[in-house]
Structure 1
C-alpha cells in the first residue's frame, strides 16, 4: 500500500548527524507527502506534483538546508501513494503524522484529494498550502480550516476568464454563441461545469450540448460524437489528465474541430504536445505561464535537469511555490513548531517571493494573483488570461487538426 522514499542527500545528512552523535531532530526537517503514484490521477501527479516536490527538496538540501534560527536543517522526504483514493489520502496523512512523526506535510494532488484530506490536516495541526486545488469553496474552507491556503485560484475566476476569452473572440466576429460543455464527474469537474454554465449563459452563450462522465473513463467517443452533432462554435471540457488526452484523441479521430477547443487539466503538460505535436496549435486549456519569464525558464531548466522531464505550463510551478512559501515561513520564524509557522502564514502582512512571483494571502487564505487560461502557440502553452500576473498574450482561433 505504501512506499517510503528518503532523498539521497537527506539520508547522507542523517548518517553524518548520527556519526557526530547529534539528534535527528536537531538537523533534519521530516516532510511527508502523499499523492497518486497509481490510479487515475497518477499520470498527472507524475508530471505536476512529484517532480516539483522532489526538486524543491533536492535544491534546498543542495543549498545546505533551511536556516532555522542558528541551525541549517536539511529535508528528509517521506512519500506515500494515495492510489487516487480519498480514504487512502486520509490514512496516509494519519500515518505520516502518528507513525512517521513528520514535521510538515505537502498538500495532496488534485482538488478532490485536497478536499478529502483537509479535515485530517486541520485535526492534526498541519499547515496545508495547496498548489493543485481549484474551488469556489475557498472562503468556506478557509473559515472551517484556517490552516488551509490556496495558490492556484478559484473555480469561478477560471470559468469567468474562459467565458471572457470567448466573449472577446465573439466581439471580434471570430465565433458565434454555440457552446458544448462537458465535465468529469468529480468535485472539480462538477463545480467547474456548474459555474461555467452560469457564466456562459449570463454572457449570452447557448449551451447546445452538455454531458458528464465518470473519473477514469477512457472511451469518450460518445461524448465527442454528441458534441460534434450539436455543431458548437466552442467546445469546453472540464477534464482531468486521462480524459483530456482521450477527448483530444477522439476529436482528432472524428475531425471535430470547432474554432475553440478547450480541455482543462493536462492541456498544459509537455506530454500533451509530445503526444499530439503541431496538431494542438490553438488548443486552449486551464492555467498557463509567462513562458518568457526568466524565473520560469530557470525553473524549467532545473526541472528538466533533475527530473529528466519538463514541468507543465501551469501547476508545476504552483506546487513548487507552495514549498517555497512553507520554507520561507519556517526560516522567518526560526522554528519547526507547526503552530508557530501556521501563525506566521495566517498573518496577512507577509508576502512570499516564489517562482510564480509575489504571493500573499487574503482573508480567504487565497492568493489572488494567478493564471487562468492558456493556449498552445508556436509550441509553447502561453497564458492568455490571468489575474494579477503580467505576460498574457492574445487568444487565437483553433484552425483544426493538421
Structure 2
C-alpha cells in the first residue's frame, strides 16, 4: 500500500511531503517454534530511505533507472514476507521513505542528512547521477551507512575508495568503459574495415566530461585519430550544428557521452540529417524502452554505455514482474539498480540484523550472483564490470569485455539509417 504523510511542523523541512511504502502488512513472519520473546524483539520494519530526482533534468533517468527499481524490489521483498533477520528468527518487511532532491546536489546532501538524523532510517539508498552520488558519498561515509552506488562513474572513485569505505561502486568507471571502444576502433582499422576517424561529443556534466576525457586518452594510447572533440551544455536544445560539423569531417566512428534527453535528441537529429557512421555510440538513455519505441528498427547496431548478462539467473522472471508493475519493458540500468538491491538484501540476511558495519563488511568481502552480473568489490569498485552493450534487433546484448559470461559478438557495421 502506498500512502502520503505530511509532517506537522511549520518549517520548510518539516512541511515537505514524505512518501512511505510498507507492503505486505505489518505482521512479522517467523518460525512458529521460536520463543515469543525472540519475535517480540524484531523490528516492525526495516526503514530504508533515499533522496532522488523526482523533478528537474535528472528526473527521467532517475525514474527509469533508480527509484522505480527501489519500489519494485520493496514489493518483491514484502510479497515474500520480508527480509530474514536470523537474530530474531523472523522475516521483517521493508518500509521506503523517499524525498525529491529536485536534481540539485545541495538538496540531495541536505535530504540524506535529514533521512539519517531526523528520520533515523536503518539504511539509505543511492541517488541518481554521477555528480550527486559523488557529493553524497562523504555523507554516507561520515555516518557509516553502507551504500551501493550504481548510476555513478568517475575515475577518481578509484583514488577515493579507501577514504569512503562505506561506498561501493557497481557501474563500470570511465577508463574501463572506454578502453574497449578504442581497442575496437583500432582493431577494425587494422583489419581495413574503417579508416579509424573518431568524432566525440559530450555533455558538460561530470559523467560526460570524464567519459570523454577517458576516451580521448584511450584513443591516444591506441593510436586512433580523433577528428572532432567538443562539449555541449546540460539542457542543450539543439545539437544539429555540431552534427553538421562532424558530418563534414566524415568520421567512421561516433561517440556521444550523453544524458537521456540529449541521447534522444542527438539520435533523432542524426536521423534527420543523415549522419549514420558504421560505429554509433550514445550514452545514458540508449537502452531505455522509450528509445526503442521512438526509433524502432533504427536502434539496431547502436552501441551503449554498460551492459548486463542477459543469461543471468532470475532475469526473465524479474522482467515479467517489472512489466506487470510498470507496464513497460526494462532497460539495463534498471536491471543493474535492482541487482544492487539484491546485493544489499543478501548482505543483510548474511549478517542477520541491521548492523551497518557488519553489512558493510559483508558487501566488501562477498561475491554476489544477481540478475545483472556476478558482483565482487575490490578497493570499493566492482571488478570486471560490463563496459559496452549494443542493440541487436530488439534486444540489448553485452559485447565487452568479450571474456565475460553472456558476451555476444559485435554487430558491425551498424545498418545504415
Measure, in 1, the Cα distance between the counterparts of 2:167 and 2:309. 27
SS in 2 for 1:193: helix
**1:259 CA drift (Å):** 1.1
Residues 2-401 of structure 1: pairs in structure 2 closer than 5 A = 2-9=16-23, 12-13=25-26, 26-69=43-86, 70-312=89-331, 314-346=332-364, 348=365, 350-362=366-378, 364-386=379-401, 389-395=404-410, 396-401=412-417
Q: Retained in 2: the 8 A contact 1:132–1:152?
A: yes
SS in 2 for 1:371: coil
Partner of residue 19, structure 1 = none
CA distance 1:7–1:24, change in 2 (3 Å): farther
SS in 1 for 2:43: helix
Measure, in 1, the Cα distance between the counterparts of 2:145 and 2:341. 14
TM-score normalised by length of structure 1: 0.92
Q: Retained in 2: the 8 A contact 1:135–1:153?
A: no
1:104-156 deviation per Cα after TM superposition (whole angstroms, max 9, x unaligned): 01111111110011111111221111111122222222111111101112210
* RMSD (CA atoms): 2.1
Measure, in 2, the Cα distance between the counterparts of 1:386 and 1:67. 35
Measure, in 2, the Cα distance between the counterparts of 1:169 and 1:299. 36
TM-score normalised by length of structure 2: 0.89
Q: Retained in 2: the 8 A contact 1:51–1:303?
A: no
CA distance 1:303–1:399, change in 2 (3 Å): same
- List alignment gaps of at least 5 residues for structure 1: 17-21
Measure, in 1, the Cα distance between the counterparts of 2:310 and 2:268. 26
Measure, in 2, the Cα distance between the counterparts of 1:30 and 1:345. 19
1:285-319 deviation per Cα after TM superposition (whole angstroms, max 9, x unaligned): 1122333545322221221112222211x221221
- List alignment gaps of at least 5 residues for structure 2: 1-12, 30-38
CA distance 1:388–1:5, change in 2 (3 Å): farther
Q: Retained in 2: the 8 A contact 1:369–1:387?
A: no
Larger Rg: 2
Measure, in 1, the Cα distance between the counterparts of 2:406 and 2:26. 41
Report the number of matched residues.
Answer: 392
**1:393 CA drift (Å):** 1.6
1:65-111 deviation per Cα after TM superposition (whole angstroms, max 9, x unaligned): 11112221100001111111111110110111122111001111111
SS in 2 for 1:76: strand
Q: Retained in 2: the 8 A contact 1:371–1:387?
A: no
**1:52 CA drift (Å):** 1.3
Name which structure has the greater RCO, CA cutoff 8 Å, separation 6+: 1
